[in-house]
Chain A
Amino acid sequence: MLLVELIKGFSVTLRHMFRRRVTVQYPEQRRRDAPIFRGRHRLQRYADGLERCVGCALCASVCPSEAIYLEAAENDPTNPVSPGERYAKVYQIHLLRCIYCGFCEEACPEDAIVMGPEYELAADARAKCVISKKDMLTPREAGFGDYETFPAPRIG
């Protein structure tokens, strides 16, 4: 009967009115990201504070959108920045060009660059979307632990 069907339909919507809401109130509440989420990049350090990046520029050459600019320099043996021969003097990523594919962290032989959890990347100027070493480098205090928290995703 049509009337019965109508009442059934109406009761469905009425019951849903009193269900628990599924909305996440975003700025106040946040959802847990998946551990392999590919957000803004991070540059990692070793536990002793040395930078992992040795300036090989494999990340820059694998990058499909050519978003990475890297300038390497020789390490000073008395006061090295990285354990290798060379280190990244300038390391910039253009976040508007980046497609967050994660090839850079896959290509990196030193596990220096990883995709972090940050996704709030809005900016009011294009220039602010080019991030450099000081934005990406894990703070010295965070050290090795940070790398453990955000391991590089295993692809394939």
Chain B
Amino acid sequence: MNEFLLDTLIIVIKIGVVFGLVIGSVPVLVLAERKVLGWMQVRPGPNRVGPWGLLQTLVDGAKVFFKENIIPDGVEPLTYRLAPLLVILPVLIAASVIPFGPPVKIAGREIPLAIADFDLSLLFFFAVATLSVYGIVLAGWSSNNKWSLMGGLRSSAQMFSYEITLSLSIVGILLTSGTFRLTAIVGQQSGGFWHWNVFLQPLGFVLFLLAAIAEVNRTPFDLPEAESELTGGFHTEYSGMRFVMFYMSEYSSVFVMSSLIATLFFGGYNPPFPYTFGTSWFDGAIGLFWLLAKIGALVFFFIWLRGTLPRLRYDELMMLGWKILFPLAFLNLIFTAILVALNWPGWLLGLVGAGALVLTDLVVSQILWRRRRAAG
């Protein structure tokens, strides 16, 4: 067969797999969220449609598909229609750089299991994933509704504030691994869980996790759509399929963000025990399995978080982002840079990070406690 055609075919298949995983994860995540939240609230969650409620989200999807697409009076027609697409597309594009398995050899050619595997893939992820804030702002602005506008503006302020922490907190990983290429970062974490970056960068991991939750707009940082304050935020005026696009983007961005966290900090597709990947398709499947398992654990954590913590107030959110997370990310960057420059061993780096985390925790809780006592 023609070389070019074969290359194209491989790319198309990889796109199909990743697209299917990200979109297919949405109903699973929605059901998992409703089930787990239900259990945490001592109730069974959806259990009427299908065995164990498994078909609930499919039926909901079918329902929403037949609903009327209402466009309210006074909206900006073009942006109103465009905004849902602008929210969901960046998520899907960002997913293209996540390596979902080790390189496999099929018919004599080595195929990296990521749609795009290039030198600046991590930077590309952040560049693209941030674009979805445009969709949210435009949705809020074009809806001709004050609550939507408030939600959109809150969202932009929040995302810009946490974007800085998000990017700064991974610079530590870039320093220790010395590359922007996601496949290389994953490759360096092979050979057992003690090689994972989370032990090298505990402070960076916590900062990244917090900023990532804020980036994907989940509780306790879900201010753009704070129901009790903004009646639904930027998607108040949306209905039918357009609303579902926001919904889908929310859950698929949780999936994609979890896969990035797994890739950066938990060894990506590497199993937690030493294992040398061959190049057969079976090893590719093993890699995919471990990546999905890690994503599942992270998604559970996201849901658990939602079931546990209440939403932050807006000024608390900004204070946390700018006065605590941002300086800490800088601190993390500085001591990682010094330790890497001095060529100190990795376990020391992890120890310093964990120490810094505990110290910050002490200081912050002390400040909060004093402030509360002063307030009476």
Contacts and interface: CB of A to CB of B under 8 A. Distances in A.
B308 A3 contact: no
Nearest to B307: A13
B308 A22 contact: no
A19 B308 contact: no
Contacts of A3: 357-358, 361
Given A19-B42, A23-B43, A23-B44, A1 B309 contact: no
Interface of A is mostly: helix
A13 B304 contact: yes
Interface residues of A, number: 18
B41 interface: yes
Given A9-B309, A10-B308, A14-B304, A2 B368 contact: yes
Contacts of B364: 2
A17 B36 CA distance: 7
A16 B40 contact: yes
A34 interface: no
A121 interface: no
Contact of B40 (A17, A20, A23, A25): A17
Nearest to B308: A13
Interface in B27-66: 36, 39-44
A23 B357 CA distance: 41
Nearest to A2: B365
B308 A12 contact: yes
A10 B304 contact: yes
A18 B358 CA distance: 30
A91 to B, nearest CB: 39
Nearest to A14: B304
B361 A16 contact: no
Contact of B43 (A2, A9, A14, A22): A22
A1 B363 CA distance: 9
Contacts of B307: 13
A132 B342 CA distance: 93
Interface string A110-131: 0000000000000000000000
Nearest to A12: B308
Nearest to A5: B365
Contact of B39 (A1, A17, A25): A17
Interface residues of B, number: 18
B362 interface: yes
A5 B364 CA distance: 13
A21 B44 contact: yes
A23 B38 CA distance: 10
A35 to B, nearest CB: 28
Given A1-B361, A3-B358, A16 B304 contact: no
A97 B361 CA distance: 62
B43 A16 contact: no
Contacts of B365: 1-2, 5
A14 B305 CA distance: 10
A78 B42 CA distance: 63
Nearest to A11: B308
Contacts of B361: 1-3
A8 to B, nearest CB: 10
B42 A16 contact: yes
Contacts of A14: 40, 304
A12 B309 CA distance: 11
B362 A16 contact: no
B44 A13 contact: no
Contacts of B44: 21, 23, 25
Contacts of B358: 3
A21 B44 CA distance: 6
Contacts of A1: 361-362, 365
A3 B365 CA distance: 9
A13 B309 CA distance: 10
Interface string B341-376: 000000000000000011001101100100000000
B42 A22 contact: yes
Contacts of A9: 308-309
Contacts of B41: 16
Contact of A21 (B42, B357, B362, B368): B42
A3 B355 CA distance: 13
Contacts of B39: 16-18, 21
Given A10-B308, A21-B44, A22-B42, 5 more contacts: A1-B362, A3-B357, A13-B308, A16-B41, A22-B43
8 contacts: A1-B361, A1-B365, A2-B365, A14-B304, A17-B39, A18-B39, A19-B42, A21-B44
